[in-house]
Structure 1
Amino acid sequence: MTTITCLLLVTGCAAGPAGPSKDSSTPEPTYTISSLSIDPKACKFEENPSFRNGLGDRAQFSYFPAITNSQYFLPSVGDLEIGLVLLDWSDKEGNNEDQSYYKEQTKKLTEWYSTMSQGKLAVNWRVSETWNRLEGSWKDYRAEDNEQGSDEARVPFEQWLLDEAVAASDSAFDFGGLDAVVFAIPTNGTVMTSGTQGFEYNNFPGSKRATLVNSQEATIGNWVISGSKFMDKKGRSPSWIHWAHELGHMFGPISHMGDPNPKNTNNFYANTLYGVGLFADQWVVTRAVEGWNAWLLGWHEDNQVLCVDATTIDDEIFALNDARSAETGAKMLVIRTGKTTGLVIESREWDESIDSPTRMGKTGYYDSFVMYQIDSSRFVGDQSLRTLANGSTDEAWDSGKWPSEAEVFTNIYFKPGDTAEFAGLSVEPLTVQKGKDFIRVAKIKN
């Protein structure tokens, strides 16, 4: 086996782990990096055709081939045109502070998508310069989450809301040529709690979920409006994370990986990629896109995916870049265990300029690896993608998370000293630091 030796701090392969300074006489660790890899195409697990259910190019997807040229999904590569429409009421007026807040949120979202797509997606904004006055009182529009019911049950309210929004803004705002619309309301008090949204893929003959922005310039099926849970101005739950999450659905991937028979009611079982990426969980601490979805959408290049056949692994060390790193090299490791199965491993590094400002985040807790098993033969709701847990699956609270339901399942984060087992393999993080991170994967021997 050909190997590459990486000497920390000498070759620049990686910085040493954070902690007390070492005696200068103590040699820095060296790692012999495995050269194992196969063609990344071998790890492009294919969607089971029966899961398309005759939906054609409006079927959301979890595996290859990704449907990236459908009229029902937003383009994941190229330019995306989004409108920001400011709405207020005579008894809840918008102000300059809110206007500045929302403009800053548009910049945050644009920068984040540019980073996560490695510059392949440019989000451009058309922003209304003034507030557009809705008819009636804000109380007429009040909608609590627990009153909205199913997607179908919400449609009459949502379509009425859209019609009122267009009536208030159409004469002053040009909706032409937009791929999606974000409506924004004053932040003083609760009109909606989480908010609501609509998707182009629901707009087809006979659909009971169809909602449309019917302006004089265009008809648009992708839209979102954030409620008070996503109006935080301290970075804990800002509007842009809600917009980014819903846009993720508009690209086509399915990210809510529910277990049909949950063992209990916590978020880990309701959403089995909970905490891994922002498409699956708006309140993920390290705000990154799940690597698998980034690959599906064309943001990860094939040469940034390290594909390894599990049968060839003896005792190997692999190097991975942080999910948001601009460095060249592997973004994720996929260990192939079968034609449709494997384990995805990714590196996470908490960044105070992007991530949720929690107490544990500031201590470096979320500088870690996340791992999730994958099986494209199973329906997405049947644990097709499922995060590995480090010990108990009981959720744990991280003080500083807001709102209160933004609970953190801390046991999916693996750090040096932790070990995971999967398909006869032991997985052990060695370092988590700025730059490349190192992880050992070894065959478990009896």
Structure 2
Amino acid sequence: MPLRRGPGGAERPSLRSVAAAATSLLALAATSLVAGPVVAAARDGAEPCALTRTAAHHSLGLDTWNPAYPRPEQGLDAVMVFLSFPDSAPRLTPAQLTADHFPATSRFFERSSYGGFTLRPHPQRTWTPMPRDSTWYAIERDWDAERRTAYLRDAIAAADGAVDFSAYDVVYLVADPDAPGVDSDATKVVNFDQPLRADGTDIRRVVTVFEQHPPDRNVLAHETGHVFDLADLYHRPVDGKGDWDTYVGDWDVMGSQFGLAPDLFGWHKWKLGWLGGRQVVCVQDSTDLTLEPIAAAPPPGGSMGTRLAVIRTGVDSALAIEARSATGNDRDTCTEGILIYRIRSGTVSGDGPVEVVDTHPETGACWDRSVYPPLADAPLGVGETFTVPGDGTRIEVADRTASGSWTVRVTTGV
């Protein structure tokens, strides 16, 4: 539901930089490094760096899973319900609106999960009539709670005769984009303080889709991330004006669906169960690492190497290191290299639970394409060294192998 704008925060009517906040219903010169055995790095047990999940909304702690959310393991089923209104005859078909989002959204998650998770859409073939005009619901970004509640209750009730909600893990309510009362900035996930009940099952949250046709790129991947308990990583200005993408820029779809490198952070993949074991290293002393790009597909018939290195920096904070290259969901990235970012498990969604460390603070890149050019060149390149301010950690990028992996030395306690 973010403000539409161009580079530098200027408004741009055709695009929105990020998707909606989840809300309550009721409510490095080159050095000669050779990758060798990791010293004091727990390859087979990264638990020392696994931050504790806190009471913060969408906490990025990952020692346990919040059972109120479906975990994206193997496969989940999602129903798409298409809502029409008395004050507008739909000009598009449900099949056309389905094609706006699928199979693209399923492919995003398939690539991000290394083929381990499948999001299966089940679109309804006909329109579901709503009982009131679209304008009556007063749909907007910061929606009046009473009208929003009425909209959701009306939608579930209208669809209940044709949809067995007990058969689905995810619910998408897709409004007719041409109805006069529909506001595309209102797309968001709505969490229920008290679940709605239908078909003998509790509906704890729904994705309300008010997108134009064609929709914003990757918007449903962002919203579905909230369904999996991932936080908003953008910064919403107090007055609604200015830059939204100062925390993570292009580097994760939970920051901006328009990001040039929108694959999920390695920390997110660890949280969701897509990375683990030897793929995550908890660095507890200086060490040499070989990092495979976080977005790269696993080798055919082979196992993945290390994808994420983590340094514990506090009770609820850590520093993450990963490689970002032009492949998979990151194929359109502006720059390649070693990305460094901070995680805070006690920080709520939208307040900066993740912040990318800018290793080139005096420059930017891709001013014509990036959602936030000052962070577009944040990764560290081959031959560069950077000491993280305040953390006493130095990262050196020595080489990039022929296979595309990155050779990195991490020195702690600098």
What is the DSSP-based 3-state SS (H/G/I as helix, E as strand, rest coil) of the residue aligned with 1:34? coil
Counterpart-to-counterpart distance in 2, 1:325 and 1:247: 21
2:212 counterpart of 1:223: no
* TM-score, with length taken from structure 2: 0.73
2:337 counterpart of 1:368: yes
Contact 1:430 1:437 in 2 (8 A): no
* TM-score, with length taken from structure 1: 0.69
Paired residues for 1:161-240 under 5 Å: 161-188=151-178, 191-200=182-191, 202-204=192-194, 212=196, 214-215=197-198, 218-228=201-211, 231-232=213-214, 237-238=216-217
**1:321-340 Cα deviation digits (max 9, x unpaired):** 33342231111122445676
Counterpart-to-counterpart distance in 2, 1:254 and 1:341: 16
Contact 1:197 1:222 in 2 (8 A): no
Determine the structure 2 residue equivalent to 1:420: 386
Contact 2:58 2:348 in 1 (8 A): no
Pick which of 282-291 and 135-144 moved more. Answer: 135-144
Determine the structure 1 residue equivalent to 2:150: 160
2:281 counterpart of 1:298: no
Determine the structure 1 residue equivalent to 2:60: 62
Determine the structure 2 residue equivalent to 1:252: 229
The structure-2 alpha-carbon separation of the partners of 1:101 and 1:367, relative to structure 1 and needing over 3 Å to count, comes to farther
Pick the aligned partner of 1:330 from 298, 306, 318.
Answer: 306
Q: Higher helix proportion, which one?
A: 1
Pick the aligned partner of 1:41 from 39, 46, 49.
Answer: 46
Paired residues for 1:303-318 under 5 Å: 303-309=278-284, 311-313=285-287, 316=288, 318=290
Structure 1 runs, 4 residues or longer, greater than 6 Å off: 257-261, 393-397
State the Cα distance separating 1:373 from its structure 2 match: 2.4
**1:179-204 Cα deviation digits (max 9, x unpaired):** 2210123344772122244455x424
Contact 2:266 2:307 in 1 (8 A): yes
Query: How many residues are treated as equivalent by the alignment?
Result: 371
State the Cα distance separating 1:160 from its structure 2 match: 1.2
State the Cα distance separating 1:257 from its structure 2 match: 7.6
The structure-2 alpha-carbon separation of the partners of 1:175 and 1:95, relative to structure 1 and needing over 3 Å to count, comes to farther
**1:370-400 Cα deviation digits (max 9, x unpaired):** 2112455x64577654210133489877435
Gaps of 5+ in 1: 1-28, 54-58, 205-210
The structure-2 alpha-carbon separation of the partners of 1:379 and 1:162, relative to structure 1 and needing over 3 Å to count, comes to closer
The structure-2 alpha-carbon separation of the partners of 1:439 and 1:175, relative to structure 1 and needing over 3 Å to count, comes to same
Gaps of 5+ in 2: 1-30
Counterpart-to-counterpart distance in 2, 1:134 and 1:44: 49
The structure-2 alpha-carbon separation of the partners of 1:281 and 1:43, relative to structure 1 and needing over 3 Å to count, comes to farther
Pick the aligned partner of 1:125 from 121, 125, 131.
Answer: 121
State the Cα distance separating 1:258 from its structure 2 match: 6.2
What is the DSSP-based 3-state SS (H/G/I as helix, E as strand, rest coil) of the residue aligned with 1:131? strand
**1:145-196 Cα deviation digits (max 9, x unpaired):** 2xx26xxxx3212211122323443333332322221012334477212224
Structure of greater Rg: 1
Determine the structure 1 residue equivalent to 2:84: 88
Contact 1:43 1:334 in 2 (8 A): no
- Residue type of the alignment partner of 2:335: Y
Determine the structure 1 residue equivalent to 2:55: 52
**1:335-368 Cα deviation digits (max 9, x unpaired):** 44567654211222335x8569xxxx4xx62333
State the structure with bigger RCO (CA 8 A, min sep 6), 1 or 2.
2
Pick the aligned partner of 1:436 from 401, 404, 411.
Answer: 404
State the Cα distance separating 1:127 from its structure 2 match: 1.4
Contact 1:322 1:347 in 2 (8 A): yes
**1:207-248 Cα deviation digits (max 9, x unpaired):** xxxx74x545644122112234x6445xxx23xx33322232
